[in-house]
Structure 1
């Protein structure tokens, strides 16, 4: 099944080109409000699965073109993000030590929403295309051999990043800003995914492919990630694990950008980017900047706008100063 939230956070199931509203059908699941309903359903899925399938089969639903999709996981208890978890197409000689960071859960946005770039001295804003898995039952100190039994399903996730801030506590400052976690468009149950370690991930920025990689390049595979994380803290139903990205295709996110994250067998997440400061960078990937051009730094430098450096930046900042004084 493919679960979505739509309009005022009604819970639905995708059925071909329509959405079947199942909110009332699941009204006996204890929930603070409808945004918590998916977590309750995940926890009790075995109890509701058969009746849910019958209900969806018996109803036509609403055309998917007539609804506004929301994040299918609007209120997770935890978002754990694996760090440096790809072999980068063979450019890494060995896996980095397994590592992760916690991301604030109220940073989640959904399909059609907007990532807001805030007024901070970041050296660049990027969004990491990632496969996310959603935990199906409480997991504590689980083995790698049993880890996949704890997966409920999969979705698309962007790990938004404001890089180049103060070095200490950099994960928290860089990753946990409002709107920095687009998730969607749907939550796909694991039975509909043939092999989560063989899914193509494509990110397009304004229609241009920037990231294009396969989950078979993960350094630490999904079972190891689940096992390791569950040895640190208990994973609860509805918790999200972002499995990492291939950094070579990372590129600057700027005002007006339209981002598409497509993952094979899941679908395409669409969202917008807004920067009130209109800062700019050259539209190149890390691969182009580092490997093809041999330039210094992890990414292309800022060209114009507040916080930019150099002669181009001076002219731009002077223009900004004059405009703000009007």
Structure 2
């Protein structure tokens, strides 16, 4: 099933090109707010699934084109992101598995606007990723049981503001945690509709130019391994999200006025607008320098990343 929130965060289910308002069959959850409603659905999915399948099959919906889709999980308790978790097309190019947290306040929905920060950066990259939605409370999960705790999948954009230093070092916190830097959705697709999450095509267009175009089979540490390791440290709750990382060969800049369209097989399309109060500009297209940099062994990379020239118009006004 494809679940969504639309207009004033009304719960819905997609069938073909329509969205069905499912407020009535989930009325016991409807007073809880959109995030808690979605979490309640996941927690009680065995009960709600047959009710929803029957209701959606016999209920007329509205054209999806006539509604505003929202982030389907507007405020999860956590978003955990896998760092450098793709082989970049090089067999055996597997880094140690590491994670970072992304702020839930970074989440925005389909058609919403990402606001670039008013600080000096060398570039702001798009990083389109497959998101895993946890469906049950869990801790210390084995790899063999990990997929039992998955509810479904969604699209996640991991916006990244490069070149911001903390005590002279690059920091995931300063790169990743800006408000609006996690466009999400437009759907949560239940895992029964995704035959193999490691067999999906991931594509991103910037103003119509195809940039990211990779396959999840390039994932270095697969989803069971991600859940296993992450759950050693964190208790996961229904609605939590693990962003699985991306192949970084197609990354490029996001800048003022851009329209970013993101698509993963079977998970729909997510559109993000970009606004930059400073109206900075970077060379258009794929960032080839960064793509070459991430292919190098870690021992050959500089601590601060590839050298960059900060655009003259990227500095804060004085």
Which TM-score applies when normalising by structure 1? Answer: 0.89
Moved over 6 A (4+): none
Shift of residue 36, structure 1, vs aligned partner: 2.2
1:38 aligns with: 38
Structure 2's unaligned 5+ residue stretches are 294-301
Q: What is the total number of aligned residue pairs between the two structures?
A: 307
Residue 72, structure 1, aligned to residue 72, structure 2: yes
- Classify the secondary structure of the residue corresponding to 2:141: coil
Judge conservation of contact 1:155–1:184 (CA < 8 Å) in 2.
Answer: yes
The structure with higher relative contact order (CA 8 Å, sep 6+) is: 2
Q: What is the root-mean-square deviation of aligned Cα atoms in Å?
A: 2.1
1:324 aligns with: none
1:148 aligns with: 147
Distance 1:6 1:147 in 2: 30
- Classify the secondary structure of the residue corresponding to 1:52: helix
Distance 1:6 1:129 in 2: 22
Which TM-score applies when normalising by structure 2? Answer: 0.91
Distance 2:193 2:177 in 1: 31
Judge conservation of contact 1:290–1:298 (CA < 8 Å) in 2.
Answer: no
1:213 aligns with: 214
Shift of residue 75, structure 1, vs aligned partner: 1.6
**Structure of greater Rg:** 1
Distance 1:236 1:132, change over 3 A: same
Shift of residue 70, structure 1, vs aligned partner: 0.4
Shift of residue 72, structure 1, vs aligned partner: 1.0
1:310 aligns with: none
Shift of residue 220, structure 1, vs aligned partner: 0.4
Distance 1:131 1:31 in 2: 30
Cα displacement string for residues 200-247 of structure 1 (whole angstroms, at most 9, x for unaligned residues): 101111111111111111110000000101111111111000000111
Cα displacement string for residues 245-284 of structure 1 (whole angstroms, at most 9, x for unaligned residues): 1112111100000001110111111110001211000013
Residue 271, structure 1, aligned to residue 279, structure 2: no
- Classify the secondary structure of the residue corresponding to 2:245: coil
- Classify the secondary structure of the residue corresponding to 1:281: coil
1:251 aligns with: 252
- Classify the secondary structure of the residue corresponding to 1:146: helix
Distance 1:42 1:224 in 2: 22
Structure 1's unaligned 5+ residue stretches are 308-316, 322-326
Judge conservation of contact 1:281–1:304 (CA < 8 Å) in 2.
Answer: no
